[in-house]
A and B are shown apart, each in its own frame.
Chain A
């Protein structure tokens, strides 16, 4: 049973989309994504001198006529895509509640997974969570595996703290094929930490997309004025804070600065970035915002 937003109409609309990659990918079957290897697609890539054994069908007879030398045409290979979706399942994603933040984040991940599955590409889901065994799904392919994706994504409850870069590193060590990496998190962590993690992904030659998920409560906290003992959901560190109009403004300024810093880093690192505030309509986000950042063809 698919969750609520995944109505037949929504799924049909998703099937019209195709993920775009900025880099060449290494698939293992014929697909629609450019590969660095030479192959048999329609897209011309280069010429090379004929060598015995080459298929004579690819000889360019025009060049032979002009230069009396044998050249064969080389075409770009098009392969299927291996996509890696990373979902932050730390405690902060469960704030203020599962339904308000983590599930919307999962819905985004599932929508993107469905787009990949519908194009007969491979998708593998990873849940970023410390303190429990690293959870990664097998590669799923084909629309019928959508339910498996849903089951996997909703199999855990967000909890614990997250050490971002090491968590990603654990998965990357087992990764064999470069492809598309989609990272879904609230990125409420120090810039150095997420930069370290994203640089790790870049080092593995992955085409990266980052979707930052925040709840409305995080964008605009509605605390009552006065003294608050704020408790960090992940570290359980408690700080005393005086909440008033000034501190509200100060918080929002800091959040804007934090987002801007993340956006700038992504821009400089050729990473697609988008912010999803969870009270926004999912289809609106998927069909309006994500294409706008170049995530879809």
Chain B
């Protein structure tokens, strides 16, 4: 027998409360008597309790039974037979790697799954599902119990965040479409409610954790070759902590900092003047529940040069950027954009042009046309004086705005959330937007051509925006699950994962999407080596204090589920009703009224 709403069983703990009215009503009258010699028979209880001995009438037991039946009915008991077709959905997100008494939550989840499989009938079949990177089935055909146990053993949790999903709906749909008799979701999120088909099983408990939540290595500016790193740590515990951050590369500790982090807060540390290494590791010295997020990887900027792809109908203006040291510019017409090879560019500049969808690399949009997904342009401004600007900001540093002249400008109306960096009274002129770690900038004026000393404020602004993009290029660490752009791979390309797994790439493959583990991915292309870092991107996975609960509603069971579960709580309700009627006749209300009369006290003194 199982209970669909086991929480109601806690009501059984309240059953003794039924005694209270009897204790109040049945408090015996205290009578003084000369001697109790003749009352002492051995069966009477001697007592100094003020309540005396409680004499419970038969109606009490009837009421007790009535209440117990009602509580049992509320807990929705069902008789179940061994199911033959079930689905087990395992949460394989990063938080499942948290340790619980030496075992990971994922190991606990697999044990639970094995226990569920053990309850299968001899001919039972199991479909295994994982939640990350998306809810998907493992294997094409249903597995026998033995095969399912074998498949479970080979499973590992990914270094991925929880995908945004409504598990209640998704699992109910899964049950109804695939005709599963039971669907078990085994997760470290607290689950509430139970459906007749969909069951939630929770593993793990609340734990304290510290994490490196961000780590970047970048050049300090376009003109400066020195490397800088910044790391951010978070404290997901109930007390303030001092966290020591180590910056490592090539197996050596380059620097270390200690930061004080309040409970639930983050703190940053900056490391400057770093020597050149292929990649860097930021690590904290914490023995906490989730070791995965105690380290983070970042790749050094590929080169000191910023490679720009300009998409413009005016190639001369864009080509003027070549006069800036460290900047190489390739110019193409907007019509050639879709056909061109875009891999390897640190920045794409769209002048009077806009792609159909946002590029995956950082992009600058100069006076984009009407179809821009980021902004809408207003009518040309007659008064182009700036009224406000963000300061301090990389884009506005060193600029003397009294000299910042704009011969032509159009106000921008943002279509997406972002940051207005400069604006006039009529609207924004510089709008910054960041999506999945990629920066986009939209200008309501044209800073090109680059004139150098000929227009010093505008040249400074142009250099600032190139610096701003440079910060974001190359060294930016990407989240696990985000694909690695490959350009166009050849047949002999190989990618090596952080777990030293060599994966050959197919010819013409543009992306490698199997970045499920945190660490350094190495792309081998003939003699060339290119490395990429992928880190846990979901900070919510590190916060083990209050994972979001998963509500499982009592979904309508499908035909198969109905054969597995036999609900008999309606019969319990009927029995309760019958008992209520009996109680009504046996114990009419007028007696209750009589019991409320104040008893005479010590009438026999």
Contacts and interface: CB of A to CB of B under 8 A. Distances in A.
Contact of A230 (B33, B603, B605): B33
Interface string B473-516: 00000000000000000000000000000000000000000000
Contact of A255 (B29, B30, B38): B38
A95 B52 contact: no
A254 B52 CA distance: 24
Q: Could you say which interface size class chain A belongs to?
A: 35 or more
A231 B48 CA distance: 10
A223 interface: yes
Interface residues of B, number: 26
Contacts of A240: 28, 44-45, 47, 52-53, 55
A285 interface: no
A234 B31 contact: no
Interface centre among A96, A233, A240, A251 (most CB of B within 10 A): A240
A238 interface: yes
A228 B28 contact: yes
B31 A190 contact: no
B51 to A, nearest CB: 9
Given A238-B47, A239-B44, A241-B44, A230 B34 contact: no
Interface string A203-234: 00000000000010110011110111111111
A229 B36 contact: no
B34 A186 contact: yes
A92 interface: yes
Contact of A234 (B35, B40, B600): B35
Contacts of A230: 31, 33, 36, 39
Contacts of A229: 28-31, 52
B13 interface: no
Interface centre among A251, A254, A255 (most CB of B within 10 A): A254
B17 interface: no
A237 interface: yes
B57 to A, nearest CB: 10
B39 A251 contact: yes
B20 interface: no
Given A227-B26, A254-B38, A237 B33 contact: no
B52 A238 contact: yes
Given A96-B604, A242-B55, A233 B30 contact: no
A239 B30 contact: no
B46 interface: yes
Contacts of A222: 604
B31 A223 contact: yes
A235 B55 CA distance: 24
Interface in B360-383: none
A102 to B, nearest CB: 11
A189 interface: yes
A200 interface: no
Interface string A238-255: 111110000000010011
B29 A92 contact: no
A237 B33 CA distance: 10
A239 B605 contact: no
B30 A231 contact: yes
B1 interface: no
B604 A233 contact: no
A73 interface: no
30 contacts: A95-B33, A96-B34, A96-B605, A189-B35, A215-B34, A218-B34, A222-B604, A224-B603, A226-B28, A227-B29, A228-B28, A228-B31, A229-B29, A229-B30, A230-B31, A230-B39, A231-B31, A231-B32, A232-B33, A232-B35, A234-B35, A237-B36, A238-B46, A238-B47, A239-B45, A240-B47, A240-B52, A242-B55, A251-B38, A251-B39
Interface of B: 26, 28-40, 44-48, 52-53, 55, 600, 603-605
Given A188-B34, A228-B31, A229-B31, 9 more contacts: A186-B34, A231-B31, A233-B35, A237-B46, A238-B30, A239-B36, A239-B44, A251-B38, A258-B37
